[in-house]
A and B are shown apart, each in its own frame.
Chain A
Amino acid sequence: MIEMQDVWKTYPNGTHALQGVSVKIDRNEFVYVVGPSGAGKSTFMKLIYREEVPTKGQISVNGFNIGKLKQRKIPYVRRNIGVIFQDFRLLPKLTAYENVAFAMEVIETPKRQMKKRVMEVLDLVGLKAKANRQPAQLSGGEQQRIAIARAIVNNPSVIIADEPTGNLDPETSWGIMQLLDEINFRGTTIVMATHNKDIVNTMRKRVIAIEHGNIVRDQLRGEYGYDF
C-alpha cells in the first residue's frame, strides 16, 4: 500500500528532514506517527501525498512511484488519498455541502449520485443538519468533521491525517478519533501524525516514532513514549 525504501529528504535550506527512512504500511492499517517537533513527521506525511518529492529513495503509494510522478499526474494520485489537517483547510466561501461536493466534482461524478453520496457522508460525520452552513459558522470540531467527510467521500484507499486533533479540545478530539476508527474499520488505511499522548496510549494502534529524520521505533499496539 505505502512503501518507502531508504528515503532521504533535504530541503533547499540544508535541513536534513529525513535520513534513510524505510517503512511498509499495509492495507487497512491504522498507524500513529509520533516524535518531537521538527523530527520529520510532517515531511514523512507530505511525501506520501506528493506535496514534497524525496531527494533520494523510492516511495510507492497505491502502486504509483511517487518520486517519479509527472506533474500532471499528481491530481490523479491525490484523488485516492484523503488528507486531513490541523487547520481543517476547508474552502471558506463554500458551504459544508459544497466543500464535500467539491471533491466529487473534481472527479466528475454525475449530479444525482453526488448528492446522495455527499448527504451520506455528512450523515456519517453527524452534520447532515448543518449542510448549508459555511465553515465560519461551524465549531472547530464540526469543521474537522466536514474535512473528514471531504476526505472520505470518494472512498480513498488511504487517509493521511496531520495532527487532526491539534486544534481541538479533548472531548471533541475523542469524537474525531472515534470517527477515524470507524472509517478504518470500514477498510481505509489511516496514517496519523499526532502529539496527543492520551489518544495514542488509549486507542492502541501501530506506532512509528521518528527522531532526527530516522525511524527509531515501530511497534504494533505501541505507546506514545514521550512525556509531552
Chain B
Amino acid sequence: MTFNTFLRHLREGAKNIFRNGWMSVASIVSIIVSLFILGVFILLVLNVNAIADKADKQVQIRAYLNLNVDQKLRETVQKEIAAMPEVSKIDFISKEQGLEDFRKSMGDEGKELLEGFDKDNNPLPDAFKIEVYEPTTVPFVSKKIEALNASHADQQPIMKVKYGKGTIETLFKVTRMVRNIGFIFVAGLAVMSMFLISNTIRVTILARRREIGIMKLVGATNTFIRWPFFVEGTLIGLIGSIITVAILFAGYSRLAATVGSDFTLQMSLLPVSDLWQWGGLLIVLGVLIGMWGTTLSIRKFLKV
C-alpha cells in the first residue's frame, strides 16, 4: 500500500461517516448509550469503594482508662497493647486533648454546647486510640484489651473499650457485597454494550453489502475495501466515547460539587481529578469496540 493510498483510506473512512448520515448517528448513539451506562456504574462502584476504604481506615478502637490510673500503669498498659501483633499504632489521648478534639469535630454549632467545660472541669477520661492492620480483627483486639484488666486485677485500668460494634460488622458485609455485585455488573454491561454496538454496526454494513460487492467487481482487494470501514468504525468509536466521557464528567463534577458543599451529608465524592484515567479507559474501550465491531461484521461480506 502506498502512502497516498493510506491517506485515501483515512479520507474515505472519515467521509463515509457523513455519507452514511443517520446510520453513523445510530452507531454513535448506541455507543454513547452503552458507554454511558457503563460509565455511571463505574463511577458508582468507585465511590462505594472509596467510601468503604475510608470506613475501613476509620475503624479504630478507643480504650478509656479509669480515673485512678497513674502514669506508670498507663505506660505499662500502652506497652502491652502496642506489643499485640495485630496492632499497628497506638496513641495516648489525654483528657485535655480529647476535649479539644471533641470541640473541633463539633464545629461552630458545638461551641455553645461545650462552653463551661475547661481544664479544671473536664468530663472526659484519658484514652488510647488504637489502630489495627486488618480491620476485621477489631472485635478480637478489643476483647484482648478488655482482658488486660485481669492481669492487673487489683487496679482494673480499663474502664471501657469502644469500637462501633455491630455497625462495623454490617458495614463490612455491605461494602463487600456492593463491591462484588458492582464488578459483576460492570463486566456484564461491558459485554452487553459490545453486542449492542456490534449489532448496530452489522446493520449498517448489511445495508452496504451491495456496495462491497460492486467494489469487488471493480477489482478491489479485501484489504482495500476493509481499510475505510476500519477507519470509519474507529472514528465512530472515538466520537461516541469522547461525547460520553464529556457528558459523564460534566454531570459528575456538578454532582460532586453539590454533594461536597452539603455539610449535612458528611461525605464527599471522589474528586474529578482522580478519575481521568477512567475517562481514558472508556475512550480506549469505545475505540476498540468500534474497530472490533467493523472488523467482525465486515468479514463475512468479503467472501464474494
Contact = CB atoms under 8 A, between A and B. Distances in A.
A178 B8 CA distance: 35
A102 interface: yes
B211 A92 contact: yes
Nearest to B5: A108
B19 A93 contact: yes
A91 B219 contact: no
Contacts of A44: none
A105 B219 contact: no
B247 interface: no
B6 to A, nearest CB: 10
Interface in A121-142: none
Interface string B1-25: 1101100100000001001100000
Contacts of B5: 105, 108
Contacts of B16: 93
The winner among A76, A90, A106 for most chain B CB atoms within 10 A is A106
Interface in A106-122: 106-108, 110-111
A72 interface: yes
Contact of B217 (A83, A93, A107, A110): A83
Looking at chain A, what size class is its interface with the partner chain?
Answer: 20 to 34
Contacts of B222: 72
A150 B16 CA distance: 21
B20 A89 contact: no
B20 A102 contact: no
B221 interface: yes
Nearest to B304: A51
A73 to B, nearest CB: 10
Given A89-B214, A91-B214, A93-B19, A75 B4 contact: no
Contacts of B1: 108
Contacts of A102: 215, 218, 220
Contacts of B220: 75, 102, 106
B4 A108 contact: yes
Interface string A76-87: 111100010000
A191 interface: no
Contacts of B2: 108
Interface in A27-59: 49, 51
A18 interface: no
B185 interface: no
A7 interface: no
A103 B218 contact: yes
B218 A150 contact: yes
B41 interface: no
Contacts of B217: 49, 51, 78, 83, 89
Interface of B (DSSP majority class): helix
B214 to A, nearest CB: 5
Contacts of A89: 214, 217
A76 B220 CA distance: 8
Nearest to B16: A93
B218 A78 contact: yes
**Residue in B2, B20, B211 whose Cβ sees the most chain A Cβ within 10 Å:** B211
Contacts of A76: 219
A51 B224 CA distance: 19
A111 B5 CA distance: 10
A106 B211 contact: no
A162 B224 CA distance: 26
B216 interface: yes
Contacts of A91: 211, 214-215
Nearest to B213: A89
Nearest to A150: B218
In this complex, which of B211, B218, B221 has the most chain A Cβ atoms within 10 angstroms of its Cβ?
A: B218
A175 to B, nearest CB: 23
A42 to B, nearest CB: 14
Contact of B219 (A75, A92, A110): A75
Contact of B214 (A49, A90, A108): A90
Contacts of B215: 91, 102, 106
Interface of A: 49, 51, 72, 74-79, 83, 89-93, 102-103, 105-108, 110-111, 150
Interface of B: 1-2, 4-5, 8, 16, 19-20, 211, 214-222, 224
18 contacts: A49-B217, A75-B216, A75-B221, A77-B219, A78-B217, A78-B218, A78-B219, A90-B214, A92-B211, A93-B16, A93-B19, A93-B211, A102-B218, A103-B219, A105-B8, A106-B218, A110-B4, A111-B4
Given A79-B218, A93-B19, A108-B2, 12 more contacts: A74-B216, A76-B219, A77-B219, A83-B217, A93-B20, A102-B218, A106-B218, A106-B219, A106-B220, A108-B1, A111-B4, A150-B218
